């Protein structure tokens, strides 16, 4: 097993509740890997009661540990497990330790690979906000969540905005899109896009962009129009409605004189649209006639 394999295995483990690596497991990891992973905060000592694998049996059955306190200060405590073969087996203190994935550390690693802000835990151990990431000419809300395919995940999903524009990173398991309360956001498994190279975690930017694009396309094919296009449509509708209302009265003519275009006149009324300056210039130079109404040139003094 290489360290890259180990990292991928940690991502799988991160989405499994209560999974811990015991002494027998960790002893099969590449030399120095445990120390490296502890240093980079990708694993941490498990917060559970003491257990240890049996050193005598081939199946390495794991048992809870009985600690025998020392009789005086010069001695150390001793650790025992029960065994169906050997009945009572002494184990070392080292064998009793367990390790689990450090999800806070994983969130920090992801944030730094994405160059976004330090993770803010919203639901400890399950859900973190990572600020916004740059995506072409816009930005997207980014979150990290663990065990999002679990039965209780809806409570976590409610922390993601419902517009379908968020980018949700998970370690490995992607939840069913139908479980999201609003439009399903882009959900990206780190397992698919992240790799460990020379003790650094790197993301494949192409794979991240592709995952977001696929999610956007899927949302559109389900008839879910992305929020920014929806806003543009609403504005178009708003402008048209105002124009329709204005055509019936001479307010239109007055607005046209003031703003130099019907579109701008309507937009100004709604205060939703600002046309670039060259549009204004062209409109003023261009046709000043509409619907047979001769409109005087705007006063430029």
Degrees (nearest 5) of the Cα angle 38, 18, 59?
A: 85
CB of 76 vs Zn ion, minimal distance in Å: 23
Per CB under 5 A, does 52 bind Zn ion? no
CB of 80 vs Zn ion, minimal distance in Å: 12
Nearer to Zn ion, 85 or 90 (CB): 85
Single out the segment in contact with Zn ion by CB under 5 A; choices: 50-58, 110-118, 193-201, 231-239: 50-58
Write the secondary structure of 222-290 as one string of H (helix), E (strand) and C (coil): CCCCCHHHHHHHHHHHHHHHHHHHHHCCCHHHHHHHHHCCHHHHHHHHHCCCCCCHHHHHHHHHCCCEE
Distance CA 245, CA 242 (A): 5
Instruction: State whether residue 177 is helix, strand or coil.
Output: helix
CB of 60 vs Zn ion, minimal distance in Å: 8
Per CB under 5 A, contacts with Zn ion among 55-94 are 56-57, 83, 85
CB of 147 vs Zn ion, minimal distance in Å: 32
CB of 85 vs Zn ion, minimal distance in Å: 5
Nearer to Zn ion, 55 or 182 (CB): 55
Query: How long is the chain?
Result: 301
CB of 64 vs Zn ion, minimal distance in Å: 13
β pairing state of 289-290 and 293-294: antiparallel
Instruction: State whether residue 294 is helix, strand or coil.
Output: strand
The 123-152 contact track toward Zn ion, x by CB under 5 A, reads: ------------------------------
Nearer to Zn ion, 61 or 280 (CB): 61
Q: How many CA atoms lie within 13 A of 220 on its CB side?
A: 11
Instruction: State whether residue 155 is helix, strand or coil.
Output: helix
Nearer to Zn ion, 81 or 157 (CB): 81
Nearer to Zn ion, 94 or 244 (CB): 94
Backbone angles phi, psi at 140, to 5 degrees: -130, 145
The 241-280 contact track toward Zn ion, x by CB under 5 A, reads: ----------------------------------------
Distance CA 265, CA 172 (A): 52
Nearer to Zn ion, 78 or 80 (CB): 80
CB of 207 vs Zn ion, minimal distance in Å: 45
- Residues 6 or more apart from 105 whose CB is under 8 A from it? 40, 41, 42, 43, 44
Q: Which of 6, 10, 42, 54 binds Zn ion (CB under 5 A)?
A: 54
Nearer to Zn ion, 81 or 156 (CB): 81
DSSP 182: S
Kindly determine how many residues on this chain lie close enough to bind Zn ion according to the rule CB under 5 A.
5
Nearer to Zn ion, 85 or 228 (CB): 85
- Strands, DSSP E only, in the chain? 21-22, 43-45, 51-53, 62-64, 66-68, 78-83, 87-91, 98-101, 120-123, 127-135, 138-145, 167-170, 186-189, 194-197, 200-203, 289-290, 293-294
CB of 19 vs Zn ion, minimal distance in Å: 22
Question: By the criterion CB under 5 A, which residues form the site for Zn ion?
Answer: 54, 56-57, 83, 85
């Amino acid at each position: 097993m290489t360290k890259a394999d180990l990292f991928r295995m940690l991502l799988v483990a991160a989405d499994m509740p209560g999974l811990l690596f015991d002494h027998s497991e960790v002893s099969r990891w590449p030399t120095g890997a445990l120390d490296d992973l502890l240093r980079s905060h990708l694993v941490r000592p498990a917060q559970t009661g003491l257990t240890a694998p049996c050193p005598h049996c081939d199946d390495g059955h794991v048992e809870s540990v009985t600690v025998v306190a020392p009789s005086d200060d010069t001695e150390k405590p001793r650790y025992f497990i029960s065994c169906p073969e050997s009945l009572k087996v002494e184990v070392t203190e080292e064998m009793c330790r367990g390790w689990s994935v450090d999800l806070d550390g994983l969130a920090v690693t992801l944030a730094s690979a994405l160059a976004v802000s330090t993770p803010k835990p919203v639901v400890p151990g399950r859900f973190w906000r990572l600020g916004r990431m740059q995506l072409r000419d816009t930005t997207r809300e980014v979150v990290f969540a663990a065990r999002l395919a679990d039965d209780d995940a809806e409570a976590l999903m409610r922390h993601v905005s419902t517009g379908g524009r968020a980018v949700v990173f998970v370690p490995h398991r992607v939840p069913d899109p139908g479980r999201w309360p609003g439009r399903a956001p882009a959900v990206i498994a780190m397992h698919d896009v992240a790799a460990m190279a020379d003790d650094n975690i790197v993301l494949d930017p192409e794979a991240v962009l592709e995952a977001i694009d696929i999610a956007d396309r899927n949302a559109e094919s389900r008839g879910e129009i992305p929020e920014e296009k929806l806003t543009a449509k609403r504005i178009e509708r708003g402008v048209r409605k105002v124009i329709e209302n204005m055509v019936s009265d001479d307010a239109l003519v007055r607005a046209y004189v003031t703003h130099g275009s019907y579109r701008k006149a309507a937009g100004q009324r709604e205060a939703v649209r600002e046309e670039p300056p060259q549009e204004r210039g062209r409109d003023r130079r261009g046709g000043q006639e509409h619907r047979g109404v001769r409109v005087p040139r705007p006063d430029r003094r």
